[in-house]
């Protein structure tokens, strides 16, 4: 059984999670992004109220 090892696991692929993943990946980190929705970058509940 092979095991994947990640330097960072990001929960949520909204703006903050996507940018964090991008920055970490550009620095060479192995990043896993977990998103419950069908696509990354979707508007979140509080984002419309800011």
Q: Encode pLDDT of 19-45 as tens digits.
A: 999 999 999 999 999 998 877 766 655
Residue 50 pLDDT > 60, yes or no? no
Element (H, E) at 29: none
The answer to whether residues 18 and 41 touch, using CB atoms and an 8 Å cutoff, is: yes
Domain count, the chain: 1
Asked whether residue 47 is domain-assigned, the answer is no
pTM assigned to the model: 0.73
Q: Encode pLDDT of 7-22 as tens digits.
A: 999 999 998 999 999 9
Asked whether residue 44 is domain-assigned, the answer is no
CA of 1: how far to CAs of 4, 5, 6, 7, 32, in Å? 10, 13, 16, 20, 19
What is the domain extent for residue 24? 1-39
Asked whether residue 18 is domain-assigned, the answer is yes
Asked whether residue 10 is domain-assigned, the answer is yes
Asked whether residue 49 is domain-assigned, the answer is no
CA nearest neighbour of 13 among 33, 29, 30, 38: 33
Asked whether residue 48 is domain-assigned, the answer is no
Cβ contacts of residue 41 below 8 Å, gap of 6+?
Answer: 13, 14, 15, 18
């Amino acid at each position: 059984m092979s095991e994947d090892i990640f330097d960072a696991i990001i929960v949520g692929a909204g703006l903050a999670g996507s940018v964090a993943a991008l920055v970490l990946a550009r620095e060479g980190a192995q990043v896993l992004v977990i998103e419950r929705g069908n696509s990354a970058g979707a508007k979140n509940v509080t984002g419309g109220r800011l």
